[in-house]
Amino acid sequence: AQTVTQSQPEMSVQEAETVTLSCTYDTSESDYYLFWYKQPPSRQMILVIRQEAYKQQNATENRFSVNFQKAAKSFSLKISDSQLGDAAMYFCAYRRPTGGGADGLTFGKGTHLIIQP
């Protein structure tokens, strides 16, 4: 079974600075998807960024980028120019391409990101 590990329960960063959230995963598959989801307090979870395992190029979405190391099974999220609105729980998630269901989306335990003004 796939597992996703987020080793940082909480991270704190000064506004406008850069922060990196770590994620490692375990899988025997060669083709899969990785995601970072953001869950603000009392609000719905939204997708931040997505990476297809077959793509070597790291995904980027505005201030958010990933460092995908397939051999190391590592998938970190970098947030540049941190803003107060970035404060949230961040979840790393793994999904098989033929997924849906129990072997579909597997989440880590999350990292609580605090933005210091």
Nearer CB in complex with another protein: 48/115: 48
* Number of residues written out for the chain: 117
- Using CB under 8 A as the binding rule, the residues of this chain from 74 to 113 that contact another protein are 91, 93, 95, 97-102, 104-110
- Minimum gap (Å) between residue 32 Cβ and another protein: 11
- Minimum gap (Å) between residue 117 Cβ and another protein: 25
Q: Count the residues of the shown chain that bind another protein, applying the rule CB under 8 A.
A: 28
- Contact, 110 vs 23, CB < 8 A? no
Q: Which two tokens stand for residue 77?
A: 């999220």
Interface pattern 30-49 for another protein (x via CB under 8 A): ---x-x-x----xxxxxx--
> Across-strand partners of 66?
77
**d(C-alpha 113, C-alpha 90), whole Å:** 7
Nearer CB in complex with another protein: 85/100: 100
Name the site residues for another protein (rule: CB under 8 A). 4, 33, 35, 37, 42-47, 50, 52, 91, 93, 95, 97-102, 104-110
